[in-house]
C-alpha cells in the first residue's frame, strides 16, 4: 500500500485535474467534549465595538453545530442579540454573571 505524500498547494488558484485532491485526507471530524469537561470562559469585552459591551464565551471544544446551538440557547435565555464567530459566542450586553450561573446549571461545571 502506497503512503500518501503531503501536497504543497503554494500558489494554487484553480485546477481542472479531477484527481488532484485524491491524495489529500479529508479533515477530521471534531468531537464535542462532554459538558463537564468543557472549560468555558465568560468575559466582558468592548474592544473595537464603539464602546458597547458584549459578553464573550470562549473555550468551547466541539462541532460548529453544537456551538451554534449553545449560542442560540444563550441568546434566547438573555433575550438579546449576538452571534457565533471564530469559535466564540458573542452576546450583546453585560450578562456575565447570569451566563456563568446558567452554564453551571446546565452541567458546564468548569465555567469561569
Q: Is 99 exposed, middle or buried (0-12, 13-18, 19+ CB in 10 A)?
A: buried
What structural domains and CATH numbers belong to the chain? 35-105 (3.30.780.10)
CA distance linking residue 98 with residue 73, whole number of Å: 13
Helices (H), ranges, 1-112: 64-78, 96-105
pTM: 0.73
Q: What is the CA radius of gyration of the chain?
A: 20
| Cβ–Cβ under 8 Å, residues 99 and 78 | yes
pLDDT digits (tens, 9 = 90+) for 18-63: 777 676 676 677 788 899 999 999 999 988 888 899 999 999 999 9
Mean pLDDT score of the chain, rounded to an integer? 86
Sign of CA dihedral 73, 97, 44, 38: negative
pLDDT more than 90, % of the chain? 57
Amino acid at each position: 500500500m502506497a503512503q500518501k505524500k503531503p501536497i504543497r498547494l503554494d500558489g494554487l488558484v484553480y485546477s481542472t485535474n479531477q484527481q488532484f485532491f485524491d491524495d489529500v485526507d479529508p479533515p477530521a471530524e471534531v468531537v464535542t467534549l462532554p459538558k463537564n469537561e468543557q472549560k468555558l470562559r465568560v468575559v466582558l469585552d468592548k474592544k473595537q465595538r464603539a464602546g458597547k459591551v458584549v459578553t464573550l464565551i470562549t473555550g468551547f471544544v466541539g462541532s460548529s453545530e453544537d456551538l451554534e446551538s449553545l449560542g442560540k440557547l444563550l441568546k434566547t435565555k438573555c433575550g438579546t442579540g449576538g452571534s457565533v464567530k471564530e469559535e466564540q459566542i458573542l452576546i450583546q450586553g453585560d450578562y456575565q454573571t447570569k451566563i456563568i450561573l446558567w452554564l453551571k446549571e446546565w452541567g458546564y461545571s468548569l465555567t469561569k
